[in-house]
Amino acid sequence: MNVTIFGATGRVGSECLRQCIAKGYTVTVLARSPDKLPQGMHDKAAILKGDGLVYEDVASALNENTDAVLFAVGVDEKTSPENLCTNVTRNILTAMREKGVKRLVWCGGGSNLLPEDTVGFGARFVRWYAEHFLRLRHFDKENQLALLNRNTDIEWIGVRPLQIKAGPQTGVYRVGFDKFSGLSSISFADCAHCMIEQLADDTWLHKAPIIQY
């Protein structure tokens, strides 16, 4: 499988890169700072220096042989521009149509409540906290999901992690719209594992389930 990764220098993205290479996939990475990629990966993937906010850079990372895109761009509350993920996604969607690429798997957030969610006090607290203390990320992810919902010709699937943290790749976790709270968690490695599993699975097509232990 030929996969292009956006956000490969981050904790989830670097796991996506490592695991895709381990599976024998052909991987292309677009990164503003390629030197931040994990050691030992530079000679195992096609590394392009560029910015996801620049359409020409995004388009250069896709071609007619690309099977899918993994989106793991992170938001820094202090340094990221407003609507970073939304604007990068807009460029990706345009480039995917131009190059005939159909599958997009992206990493969202549990603070964005969906009609399918089992919403209790814990989920409402997660949303309240994000709205007040992680506003840039929360509203960017809300806008990103709204954009994707308007582009259902693309085969997109979202994964919403809770309390993402360091930890091993176990491959054992829950995916769905189960009850969750601020105590729910998932490792970076298992989040990436779940994203990669969606590359060839239509179960959650045009949906964004919660992932948690």
pLDDT digits (tens, 9 = 90+) for 31-76: 999 999 988 888 999 999 999 999 999 999 999 999 999 999 999 9
CATH number for position 21: 3.40.50.720
What would the pLDDT profile of 87-144 be if each residue is shown by its tens digit?
999 999 999 999 999 999 999 999 999 999 999 999 999 999 999 999 999 999 999 9
pTM value is 0.96
43 contact partners, CB below 8 Å, separation of at least 6: none
Domain count, the chain: 1
C-alpha pair distances (Å), 169 with each of 14, 20, 67, 191, 200: 13, 13, 24, 9, 19
Domain carrying residue 58: 2-212
Give the confidence band of 212 by pLDDT, cuts at 50, 70, 90: very high
